[in-house]
Structure 1
């Protein structure tokens, strides 16, 4: 049974950097070997390692292995884990070799998006539970494969859409679904971030020492090494990611989908996309997008602007649930309700409510995953939820890439209606010797 009090204590130690606190070490030492959860990490550069640290804040979790194609990162992260836990994890550069280990309960996938599917399906087939960063995969078809694999092999799979575990979004969802705002007419979403422009154009360089670049490319097309397509900025190229739309969009769109009565993939998507700022910029993805999702319950309106940092209600990003009684505006720092005015009663139609100073929720999302590993309960963001959220990002990206203002998606047949060019982008083309996994 998940012990929330001990978890919160551990998380406090984590936040303060007190990894080797006697309290945490003593808590770890008290865990029987049979009760330990042994994890391995694929991709240690950024978010993957942060997620691993949240795992290690739980006393029952032990990291037994790390895998990366960059020896520099691998050396650094192995040292950090050893300092944190007192135990040195084993090192791997090939995910397939790591998955042969029989003493691993779960894996964390923090690689670029184009690797999610291959590793996740192989992990499920090897009997490992999976925590995979969002978006679930880099294509619609790969999301399907991952969901099928989790089901067929009876694996726990948590998609890293951690806002589902955060107080501010849970309370917002409950307020919306309770009817407090009245009937919801639309959900307005905006995300404005400078990094959405991508990096300035840079020439190709030699591959950094210690990097197995061909393995990093994996199933993606062969290309000369360029730092703009590598650590951090890879997401601006279709071969590896989906830009700002799939990076932030999938998080925020998930919060609109979450309040639907019966969340489903979008049946119709209306998209406007452009690259307004292309001067000296190195990217495939779009810096400016507006997308309409006409849903059964309400309209979702998504507005994205790479290179900008301001937005409605003084927030660079956020969600506004627009109801007949009032509008609830929320982002990761909190929420506030703006009531509608009743001219007859000369008073607000509802009371305003506010939550400020909310904390980030990666730790709680990880704790939910670890608890589900032990109980075999469904996690808060299971594969189908991850798939649906990813489709809300992938379909507009596909529409923009093929120049279609409107796309109709048949989720039963898993195809676009009447658009052959869009259907060509449902599945990626893997570079040999890599092949799409079979489930």
Structure 2
């Protein structure tokens, strides 16, 4: 089918579905499946769709994306189709039997996250947008009484993170951040070893992240946005830079307007594990310094290609977060070292990483599914494995490092009060939020009136 005809037919179907579902809003009772709305249907959004759509206690009832159909960074028609329309097809196909039996609650489709967040058929909002939209979507969901699953990094800007943490507390919402390594048995085992003192006294931690982009990752030709994309809404509160593929699907995080580079993409994974092992889910470093940062020789991106962040902690532990470290998290203690990354755990003493080794009595919660941990806590009103404050604290060294690099000096940090000590310029820069005029009240909007 020709692309234009495909989009025309799906636009008509979308309008019909939206009208039908809005007339049949029914919020799930305690014994019914929880209604799930997903905002952002790119690669990660589809990963989460695949997990939620098979969960027996939920039903996907709403989908939102500003792009109806795309193929991420690939040429048109190559690879998996993504966007609002393919997501609708995937959900309807999975719920075929439910539709026949009459237990299907209907599917709302929209390009505006605010309608999804206001819908009575949505109990849970899943946020899988680019980073610059995390805060706005989360805040709208919380103001509308929803529980939230949000991808990492939990927010694009430091001040957004603080506001989300406070909003979660004031609303009593259940919140899970997509730092899914916490639900991986190898990372849980590593944290148990450190917490129980198997390595002895920890002196330093090496957090290894991938390097950033050293060149444009796609076409740098500026053009009109493709058919089916609301680029104005995609940019939202951030600057509306000229459209180019090198700054759009998959590659947007290379620009500080929309993300924090590969640094902020991965710090919420491996530094999160470092903080977890030190019981710093509500703490942080005392000193942060950006050193040896280098940037790509292109004006397309303004996030570092190579980077190192030095941190000091109150307990005497020092850490480096760097693309020069081995990918993963490595602890160095008086008894030896331990390294964990996805799919592999190694140590100076091979006995420590044996599945039958007993690290001691202190154990982190054993979770095998990040999504299920979230759903069960929505039911019980408990605390998830990766709540909002935990995620905010895990990425704070990255926020501080961007300020440190800009000012070319180390920053002393009061983690309890979350202020830069004796450096007003750095503190102001850290808290800066410069939204486009139309979105200045993004974190204080109430429900839509039209």
Fold shared by both chains (TM-score > 0.5):
yes
Q: Which has the higher strand share?
A: 1
1:157 offset after TM fit, Å? Answer: 0.7
What's the RMSD between the two structures over aligned residues? 2.4
Match status 1:353 vs 2:353: yes
Match status 1:407 vs 2:411: yes
Deviation per residue, 1:157-185 (Å, 9 max, x gap)? 10111111110011110011111111111
User: Among 107, 113, 135, which residue is 2:131 paired with?
Assistant: 113
Deviation per residue, 1:222-244 (Å, 9 max, x gap)? 22212122111111111111011
Match status 1:245 vs 2:255: no
CA distance in 2, matches of 1:422, 1:227: 34
CA distance in 2, matches of 1:46, 1:202: 22
User: Among 177, 199, 203, which residue is 1:181 paired with?
Assistant: 199
1:63 aligned counterpart, secondary structure: strand
Cross-structure match for 2:361: none
Match status 1:216 vs 2:234: yes
1:396 offset after TM fit, Å? Answer: 1.1
CA distance in 1, matches of 2:162, 2:216: 29
CA distance in 2, matches of 1:277, 1:139: 22
Cross-structure match for 1:437: 443
Deviation per residue, 1:45-80 (Å, 9 max, x gap)? 111221121112211210001000001111111011
CA distance in 1, matches of 2:303, 2:240: 19
Gaps of 5+ in 2: 1-27, 70-82, 100-105, 356-365, 446-450
Once the two structures are superposed, the pairs formed by residues 22-37 of structure 1 within 5 Å of their partners are 34-37=31-34
1:269 offset after TM fit, Å? Answer: 0.2
CA distance in 1, matches of 2:397, 2:353: 29
1:326 offset after TM fit, Å? Answer: 1.5
Cross-structure match for 2:58: 61
Preserved contact between residue 270 and residue 405 of structure 1 (Cα < 8 Å): yes
TM-score (structure 1 length as normaliser): 0.82
Cross-structure match for 1:260: 278
Cross-structure match for 2:79: none
Preserved contact between residue 201 and residue 282 of structure 1 (Cα < 8 Å): no
Report the number of matched residues: 384
User: Among 306, 309, 318, which residue is 1:299 paired with?
Assistant: 318
Cross-structure match for 2:25: none
CA distance in 2, matches of 1:276, 1:394: 17
**Given the superposition, is the C-alpha separation of residues 378 and 394 from structure 1 closer, same or farther in structure 2, using an over 3 Å criterion?**
same
CA distance in 2, matches of 1:207, 1:376: 43
Cross-structure match for 2:36: 39
Moved segments of 4+, more than 4 Å: 193-198
Preserved contact between residue 256 and residue 303 of structure 2 (Cα < 8 Å): yes
Preserved contact between residue 214 and residue 295 of structure 2 (Cα < 8 Å): no
Match status 1:331 vs 2:341: yes
CA distance in 2, matches of 1:378, 1:189: 26
CA distance in 2, matches of 1:247, 1:56: 25
1:262 offset after TM fit, Å? Answer: 4.2
Preserved contact between residue 202 and residue 334 of structure 2 (Cα < 8 Å): yes
1:55 aligned counterpart, secondary structure: helix
Cross-structure match for 2:155: 137
Preserved contact between residue 128 and residue 151 of structure 2 (Cα < 8 Å): yes
Preserved contact between residue 288 and residue 312 of structure 2 (Cα < 8 Å): yes
Cross-structure match for 2:387: 382
Match status 1:368 vs 2:373: yes
CA distance in 1, matches of 2:53, 2:431: 37
1:90 offset after TM fit, Å? Answer: 1.7
Match status 1:395 vs 2:414: no
Preserved contact between residue 213 and residue 304 of structure 2 (Cα < 8 Å): no
1:422 offset after TM fit, Å? Answer: 5.3
Deviation per residue, 1:119-145 (Å, 9 max, x gap)? 111101101000000001001100011
CA distance in 2, matches of 1:181, 1:158: 30
Match status 1:172 vs 2:190: yes
1:32 offset after TM fit, Å? Answer: 9.2
Preserved contact between residue 267 and residue 394 of structure 2 (Cα < 8 Å): no
Gaps of 5+ in 1: 1-30, 306-310, 340-349, 356-360
TM-score (structure 2 length as normaliser): 0.80
